[in-house]
Amino acid sequence: MAVHRARALSDIRGLGRLTADALAGLATLVETLHHTIARGSAPLGAPVKGPMDGISGLVYRSIRGAVHGVASGVDALLGEIAPLLEQETSSARRDALRAALGGVLGDHLEITANPLAIPMRLRRGGVALDLTRAALAHAIPDPRGRVLLLVHGLCFTDLQWKRNGHDHGAALAREAAATSRPLTEIYLFYNSGRHVSDNGRDLAAMLEVLSRAWPVPIVELALLCHSMGGLVARSACAHGAAAGHRWLDALRDLVFLGTPHEGAPLERGGNWVNVILDASPYTSAFASLAKIRSAGITDLRHGSVLAADDVARDRFATARKAARARTAVPLPEGVAGYAVAASVARSAADLKGRLLGDGLVPLASALGHHAGPEGSALFAPGHQSIAYGVSHLGLLSSKKVYRQIRGWLLSD
């Protein structure tokens, strides 16, 4: 009971801060529009920047100050109470709600130190793993030298790998137990609203700690990734290589399910909303609403993996500029890379499937046709597969997709 009260208080604190930020942001939006109208700006051109002067400016400043003042007082009170009750435990429903919110606003939650922000964790059964040798040996009684890490996508949690009663990771572990190469499955839970490059850097560092703390030597490491999780994994490989991490020596396989290696059209379409709204000073104030979406979402526009990409520095740049800026990142040498693309069409002859792919990621993007260096293919022809009649989320529970993954990872 104490645990539930502590988590409720933490969530109330987080929602209170988020509400205060939203109200203050709304006040700024109204002030910008008010300022533009008061100046009699032309229909096209730049909006009026900066706060208003005089009584109007004082009113808007007072509104923002009052909102944050009340929120800070409530937050401080709840902050004193919550630690008295807090314990480390997991709730699938709470995690799912935090993950959905984090996917949309996760970067803001982290920057503002909001309690709803999700810290990156390696987990098993929804329970965070303490990355020390003794703690891992206690949590995993029979650790294997072959480790499978599953990396979820945008707005998801590690527990949502289980869909329609099936979990690729658990199923692979069961079947591998009867072979000469048994494995232990673990899962990543992370804030998918952060930049892909930030999550990739932190994952690389976490895998380095894991490789040193694992109770037995890790002789083989495989990563199974869904959607955005594949970009995070590729980013982790790039960060790990730059840092000289030793976990990469054990990495053998990378499997990507519906990963937008070349980006997602829906995010590119969303970015044009910004361009249109910014065209007039009378609508530019509302462009800020379209820019609420997280850094993680905007990274999906062109499959950005590295912080050096201009998309990471100016994430609302026009599509053409962002496409030129994206850095092509090859797969690590000596690592087998595999890609499964899904198509809502029933066969290759259906034009709808070629245009829509799995409903979110086009076939060419999921298969990385031009995502390698100098526009080369990211995967060898025999390391690609298309699952027809399967949606983006269906990749998590499709039997045909599982058979393909099993063939790649469990074959001798």
Residue 371 pLDDT > 60, yes or no?
yes
pLDDT band at 78 (very low <50, low <70, confident <90, very high): very low
386-405 pLDDT, tens digit each: 999 999 999 999 999 999 99
CB burial of 169-202 (b: ≥16 within 10 Å; e: otherwise) equals beebbeebeeeeeebbbbbbbbbbbbbbbbbbbb
Strand partners, 256: 225, 339
Angle, nearest 10°, between helix axes 228-243 and 196-213? 60
The whole-number average pLDDT for the span 63-70 is 47
The pTM is what? 0.77
- Write down the pLDDT at residue 270: 43
Q: 285 versus 335: which is more confidently predicted?
A: 335
Q: Determine the straight-line distance between the first and last CA of the chain, rounded to whole angstroms.
A: 49
- Write down the pLDDT at residue 304: 87
Element spanning 384, H or E: strand 384-388
If one counts every other C-beta atom within 10 angstroms of the C-beta of residue 95, the result is: 20
> Measured between alpha carbons, how far is 259 from 361 in angstroms, rounded to an integer?
7
Window from 162-176, 242-256, 325-339, 383-397 with minimum mean pLDDT: 325-339
> Measured between alpha carbons, how far is 264 from 322 in angstroms, rounded to an integer?
13
Residue 179 pLDDT > 50, yes or no?
yes
Edge-to-edge order in the sheet of strand 127-128:
127-128, 121-124, 184-189, 146-151, 220-226, 251-257, 336-343, 384-388
The whole-number average pLDDT for the span 58-76 is 47
Token pair belonging to 191? 């804030």
Q: 404 versus 96: which is more confidently predicted?
A: 404
> Measured between alpha carbons, how far is 185 from 168 in angstroms, rounded to an integer?
10
- Write down the pLDDT at residue 345: 87
**Three-class DSSP category at 178:** coil
Cβ–Cβ < 8 Å for 8, 24: no
The whole-number average pLDDT for the span 262-267 is 75
- Write down the pLDDT at residue 119: 94
Residues 6 or more apart in contact with residue 145 via CB below 8 angstroms = 216, 217, 218, 219, 220
